[in-house]
A and B are shown apart, each in its own frame.
Chain A
Amino acid sequence: MDFLKKNPSLPVFIAVLVIFTLVVTFLSEAYGTGALSTSFVKTLGKTLCLALVAIAMDLVWGYTGILSLGHFAFFGLGGYMIGMWLMYARTKIIVVESMVNAPIPPTPSEISDAIGSQIFGVVGSSDFPLVWSFAHSFWAQIALVVLVPGILALVFGWLAFRSRVTGVYLSILTQAMTLALSLYLFQNDSGLRGNNGLSGLQNLPGADAISQDNISIWFFWASAFALLLTYLIAAFVVSGKFGSVIRGIRDDEARVRFLGYSVEGFKLFVFTLTAILAAIGGALYYPQAGIINPAEIAPIASIYLAVWVAIGGRGRLYGAVIGAVFVSLVSTYFTGGQAPDINLGFYTIKWVDWWLVLLGLSFVLVTLFAPKGIGGLFDLVSGRLSPNRQGAPLGPDKGSLREEEAEQ
């Protein structure tokens, strides 16, 4: 009960999510009227995964104050890990089927060689690289979905926080990490098929008989469930004493350190936890998208993640969800060519071309005039208004109280 009192948004969020899931199910082609096409159900499922990673971003940025421009790298890594198993298992089924009519039954090493040349023929190789050692095992790859991004985040975070890289420096460093990772994966000899990436992920191995209509709604349910769990975890993390400490770190790191808290430990925990959450989101997202390639990990993707959270409203979990859902769905609407062109007489505005300009400018406007984002609208409803901060800061950090605020 205490937990619910601290998170008044939680019941509302759960209710909205459950209703949304039911509505989509009853409108889907598999279990309902068919008003929503399968591809749109997939889009909605992917959007839920993006909302999940946005919650992770909100935890690390909105609550802990670490503007990480690298969380989409963890998202992509999660996708790669599950993609390896999907691709291996499916190729194995195809290869075994094709060999069943051979006069002599194939040996295990012949099957493995055939799978290798199927998967890596596109990058001019046929041997399995070391990173594919566990690709045959579903549970091993599921473990790697958590372990690989988790360990990367742990090592990177430990190095960065230990040497007290903070603020914009940390942002640039995380961006560099993302860039390095995507450049590495772009190479053909990285072992993950270079810029071809992994493809055909929407076909679950052994599920050829089941139509994509059903698979899409299953993934939608899984994404909704994962989002719910993530929201619960995040709400739990930020509501207790732990939450107070990380908010303290966001507002004045030095003071929290002087109070005797291990700032580095708290930051490292949040950074690693959110990296794992992001990876789980990616592992659910890419089977719905069907393909993953290094371009998905490019630094720009992580910046968009920050954009969603900022537009939705930092420092509140439902804000991140709203931002991710709103911006990504509106983006899909405008870039998908469905939006009607506006004819100005002398020039026709094509939204495919102008949407990014609009997004960029509205993002600037939100940053300038509505730092609380869309989530701030709920404060107007609930009547919670923050004090008007003006004048010079009292404390050493940019986020500290201002003179006039203190006089009130």
Chain B
Amino acid sequence: MAINLYYYASPATFYQLSGKLIPWFGWSAVILTVIGLYIGFFMAPTDFQQGEAYRIIFIHVPAAWMSMFIYLVMAFWGAIGLAFKTRLSFMMSRALAPTGALFTFIALWTGALWGKPMWGAWWVWDARLTSELILLFLYIGIMALWAAIDDPQRGDRAGALLTLVGAINVPIIYFSVKWWNTLHQGASVSLTKAPSMAKIMLIGMLVMAIAAWLYTIAVALYRVRTLILERERNTDWVKALVEK
């Protein structure tokens, strides 16, 4: 089956398609969250070093992964938008930012609540924590820039440019635990070595991470549909849709 990508890149078709997809992503996210929490709280054992406090990991790590990953996806759509002048790409970028900021905040918040009992401090100016905080400021800065520029096209381009420049921060966050001597522990899961945690803990964390993914897709699609309506308000299809 040949899928014509240009067909789906049209806001009108994308609006219809995404409307059908949102419930699937949303409900799968809910189901996986329930499964992930069950594994995290009822199947995963107590950690021999950290006791029950480690259970924060089931939201901390997925949130931290999403905070970085969403930023990269935003930068990707920004680059596509700048290169091909595709309207929908910029809208995708805008639709992802608030959710990226949400996960960054959660990563920092749960990190503080984990740091206090384990390190004795809510916050330390260590490389991992500081670069993650910069990520939050980047998200907020980009959203503020979009909000400040009235002309959508100019705003899109300026926001995409700032997003791309800020993307340099993502590898800094990721490798910070390797490059600097940080209080934050190194990666528990990486592509190059076997994970340094019990299998059931890992499974719980991965299920929660997939749930976070599906949630992100659902809310980003929901947000982009509202953006499409605003931007395309003078087209016949939006006018027809509004009249219904």
Co-complex (A, B)? no
